[in-house]
Structure formats: C-alpha cells, structure tokens
Amino acid sequence: MNSITFPHPQAENTVTIIVTEVIGDNLCILCGSGNMLYETIAEAFGKGKSVNLSFVDCEDITSAFLAEIFTQLYGHFSEEKIETYLRVVDIQPDDAEDLQYIIKDVKEYLKYPQRFRDAIISVLGEDYL
C-alpha cells in the first residue's frame, strides 16, 4: 500500500499539493515546514477545494513534521471536513502507519489537552512549560 486514502469525493474542484514543492526540500523534518504545509492546505480548504496531499519524493518524514500539520488541521477544521476533503497519497507504508498513529494522538490531545500537559509536567517538570 503506497497511500492512505481518506474518503474523498471525486471532484474537479481538487488540487494536488506536492509536499516537496511547498517546503522546498525532500527532507520533511522541520516543524516550520509542517506549518507552511498546513497553511497551504488551509488556504485550499478556505477556497472550498479538496486536497490531494502528495508525499512523492519525500524522505525522512518525522513525527514532529506530521504532528505540526495535523495538529493544526484538526485544531482549525472539523474531523468531517478533513476526512472528506483531504486525501494523502504517494506516502511510503511505514510513514503512512506513523501518520495513522499521529492522527490518533492529535485527536486524543485535542480532546484531552490537560492530560497531555499533566504528563509533560510529571516527566519534565513545571518549568518545562
């Protein structure tokens, strides 16, 4: 399996966002790059477009990079909108699996942010926040 496919209506109002073109690199490791990608997806959503998010030619996709994108997406858009209008394609199976876990964690974090804050404090201390 080379892609994650979220339910997605086939429409001519769909744009393909190529990750490497947006971030200007094939290394997907920086949170700042994830933020740039989020902004590009959000802009397309704001114009009423569906998005095919292509990870073609991406290397070293970190959890932090993916978490930056999807924490912001799920923080600003409904789960229904994301799962209806976003399709992730051209992603390696191990990265796709990582993405599934990240999305699960993001949803949990947004539902129970205090639980995560408490866990950080218990491990790293109050000064860390």
CA angle 51, 74, 95 (to 5 degrees): 65
Q: Are strands 50-54 and 14-18 parallel, antiparallel or unpaired?
A: parallel
Give the separation between CA 95 and CA 89, rounded to whole angstroms.
11
Give the separation between CA 68 and CA 8, rounded to whole angstroms.
22
The tens digit of pLDDT for each residue in 47-67 reads: 999 999 999 999 999 999 999
The tens digit of pLDDT for each residue in 13-24 reads: 999 999 999 999
The tens digit of pLDDT for each residue in 75-124 reads: 999 999 999 999 999 999 999 999 999 999 999 988 887 877 777 788 88
Among residues 68, 72, 20, the alpha carbon closest in space to that of 43 is found at 72
**Which pTM value belongs to this model?**
0.82
C-alpha 52 chain-centroid distance: 12
Q: Which helix (H) or strand (E) holds 108?
A: helix 93-111
The 50-54 sheet, strands edge to edge: 14-18, 50-54, 86-89
Give the separation between CA 36 and CA 20, rounded to whole angstroms.
11
